[in-house]
A and B are shown apart, each in its own frame.
Chain A
Amino acid sequence: MNEVTESLHFSDAHAMVTQQLKGARAQVVCALSGPCARPLFDLLLGCRRRGLALTVVVPGDARDTAPGIAWERLEAAGAALHWLAPGAPRLLTSVCIIDAVAVLSGDLAQLGPVPATQTAGVLLQSNGPLAARCTHGLSNLVVTYPLGQDAMAAQTKEAAPTGVRAELVAIDRPPQGTGAWQTELLEAHTLAMQADIAEMHRTLNAFDREQDACIGDLLRQCMDAKRLHLQRLHAQTGREEVRVQAQEAQERFDQYTRSQDAKPAPPSALDPQVQTQMKQLYRKLAMRLHPDRVAAQDKPEAQALFQHLQTSYENNDFSALKVLQQKVLQVPGVSPGIPSIGLFAPNAADHAQALQERLARQQRERATILRSGTWQTLSAQANWTVWFAQQADYLRSELERYDRATSQSHSTPPTVHAP
């Protein structure tokens, strides 16, 4: 029995996909939603060379947008290569099913060995039933037309690259419910992304608390000294740029003071082991409680529980999460095994569209956090305490500078400029 697990990978996606494909033992089925980049092509080729059964489904126009990829090499190596017919609906997300257990989905086609923060990530799910649904979904979707038998075959013939003996394949007209496996993958991706963002928020909160404890007072003093210094400087010189700087310094000081006053009591710190357990429990509960994953009549309750989950996680409240776990078992609609509403939604296309939009929004939100100065600092520092100690030294020397400037300004014209 394989344990069901899932994890979302961003900058390390290439390494993870490489590890998964190199660890494959029997069979790889890969379907791409867009043009294929060289790294994935080479990995797939490697799979075939190791004697694995390999099936690859590629959009018909992939050859035009992926220079340097010689698909013939895959076919020559013995892979089953399928080209999607022109006009066939594109897959919502790339998918790779390994040994009928591991399912990779997301930015598979475009991943590269150089970490890229803007990637939408690759989701790894170790889940036999899901792998079976995906494989079955693909096989249902792909219909082989013998050469010259009908118009579709003729159409596909034009799509096949010169010299490539590709199978002539088309996507059948999607019947009701077709693509549910793709929707399921998208849904899992958005949930994993949401958990990832929640974890980033939790880390930011923890950093905020530690920063406040270590250098909060010094920061406030420094901002205060800077604003007063600039105000005095402006009074003495009347320069416009100093006025603007003074105003900015005042706003920053006000903002910091107000936010410190509004600060709630700090939640207790957790040891790393408990934190890991809490993270796992959060992700598990988020998967079960997300309003998307319950029947319509259970939505209101799921919404309330989901909001409670977010708050508890933000506050490092492990006991609240455990209580929630108990409670979840009593809510009929949110018990494990209940399929996603997306799988049976009357308007599956709308649902998929909504999921894609949400994924894009989450990606933007994640990118904003990644770009923020705080995140760049906390992720670059292996030991926050050491970093805060260093910043405390800097802040103290900065305060001394302002003190000196203030004492000089009483006797002589100002000589110190704002940093």
Chain B
Amino acid sequence: MTVLVLSEQASDRALSVATQHRLDAAAGTLAVLQDAQTKAFFQAHGTLFLCCLQNHYPLTSVELDGFRGLWDWKRLSASRALDWSPTLIAAHLDAWDWDALSKNPSLPWSAELLEQHAGRWNWRALSANAGLPWSNALLEANAYCWDWAVLSANANLPWTAAFVRTNAHRWDWSALSWNTGLPWTGGLMTEFAERWDWTGLSANVSLPLDASLVSTFAAYWNWSWLSSNPSLQYSEALLSAHLLRWDWKALSSATHWPWSPELIARYAKQWDWSALSANPSLPLEADLVQTWAAHWNYRALSKNTAVPWSDVLLGEVPEDAWDWDALSANPSLHWSTDLLARHQDRWDWDGLSWNPGLPWTAALVDQYAAMWDWAGLSSSARLPWSTELLQRNGYRWDWERLSANPHPPWSAAWISPFEEQWNWVTLSSQKNLPWNADFFNAFATRWFVPLVAEHRDFGVRALSAREVQALLSDLGPH
């Protein structure tokens, strides 16, 4: 026990009493100031205040009743921040948007709540709601209300073989076949072999697709979909047992297989070499490229990011063999200003403009200013962003894409010089902007307030219920 006492003392001492007092006193003083600033900010921006409240504040019956005329009830019904309770729901029966409520996972969902308003819910929306406490009993109690086609696609249900069996007459078997939530076993598949949609099963990533299961249902699979299924567990036996059934083009594109030079050699005649050439999971060492030089589809290889790109490799085949459009968009090429200059007439400059692999500098942008697709540049994460760069090429930029780009150094100073160019709807939805009261105030008349309030609360949650009610009263008649 000595040790415990020591730990506590040590912990207390880590922050001295004087420091704690100083911090508390400062925080108290600043909090009062902050609170006053928040209130003043919302007093100046009533619409923003209302939107922030409805999106982010745990409103209660007191506010909802007291200021009934101010609310957008559809927005409130979809809110995850409201102080949801059965009483709150019951108190405003005719005001809620019941479709939005039925989709809202934040309600205090229970069998009783469903029962209480059974005639109001949108049962189709409820059937897909992940927030419900799904159980056999819940499903059975409302068996005739649920939309069983939607339920069949819902992976969150308490799926068991017995559950599938009990409700066999209710399922949409096509939706069920694509559902990844079922406890898939050979037994379950056999039991309802004639009911399953075998294309859905063949594409279902939850199936334990080992050699045994694949062989058991060899006559049922959609082999094209099965060949593309990433859950297919590679084995030599699996491949060789169904040599003529596989869709080799799909297999050649598989990125999750243990690709090796041996595997490639063993089925060299079966592979689709175009698909194989584009597969980025291949161990494309120089040797492998050399060994199968006559087999590769160089146009497909041009888009492959796993190739050990070099000048030597590019020169090994005639220039026309490469797909220069695909090469231009490939970020893994050995990009340099020299490489760009050497094949200037070969490149697809649209593809280059969207390529993050280029050695982007302001000089490079200026050097080929007339060649770029400026839509690509405007969306780039790699450009060396500066106000000068924007100013120099003002008319060239795609301001719509630029407004949506999260990567530039967003600030009031970055936005100000180009106030007329920005798309303010897009900017208002941008979460990466340095949102705070000062930033909002700098362009207060430009913002699309409901869009801003979708993702920013501006400290509304720190306001007390009394402060909220006072601010609501200031908004005028309601």
Task: Tell me the B residues contacting A by CB distance below 8 Å.
Answer: 1-4, 6-8, 10-11, 13-15, 18-19, 21-34, 36-37, 133-135, 156-163, 181-185, 188, 205-206, 208, 231, 233, 438
Contact = CB atoms under 8 A, between A and B. Distances in A.
A309 to B, nearest CB: 9
Interface secondary structure of A, over-half rule: helix
Contacts of A362: 11
Contact of B183 (A70, A194, A201): A70
Which of A73, A263, A291 has the most CB atoms of chain B within a 10 A radius of its CB?
A: A73
Contacts of A10: none
Contacts of A391: 30, 33
A212 B22 contact: yes
Given A255-B24, A373-B30, 10 more contacts: A70-B158, A70-B159, A70-B160, A72-B160, A73-B183, A75-B183, A219-B29, A259-B22, A263-B19, A314-B14
5 contacts: A77-B184, A204-B15, A204-B23, A373-B30, A394-B30
A407 interface: no
A78 interface: yes
A223 interface: yes
A172 interface: no
A67 B18 contact: no
Given A255-B25, A258-B21, A377 B4 contact: no
Contacts of A365: 11
Contacts of A194: 7, 11
B18 A259 contact: yes
A259 B25 contact: yes
A306 interface: yes
Contacts of A314: 13-15
B26 A219 contact: yes
Contacts of B23: 204, 207-208, 211, 372, 374
A225 B26 CA distance: 14
Given A78-B208, A259-B21, A68 B15 contact: no
Given A70-B183, A310-B13, A361-B8, A263 B29 contact: no
Contact of A291 (B3, B15, B32, B157): B3
Interface string A253-286: 1011011101100000000000000000000000
A72 B162 CA distance: 10
Contacts of B162: 162-163
B28 A76 contact: no
A68 B6 contact: no
Contacts of A166: none
Contacts of B25: 219, 223, 252-253, 255-256, 259
B32 A260 contact: no
B176 to A, nearest CB: 14
Contacts of B158: 67-70
B15 A252 contact: no
A252 B19 contact: no
Contacts of A361: 8
Nearest to B210: A51
A38 B135 CA distance: 13
A77 B10 contact: no
B128 to A, nearest CB: 15
A262 B206 contact: no
B38 to A, nearest CB: 11
A198 interface: yes
Name the 4 nearest CB pairs between A and B, nearest first.
A76-B183, A373-B27, A256-B25, A259-B22
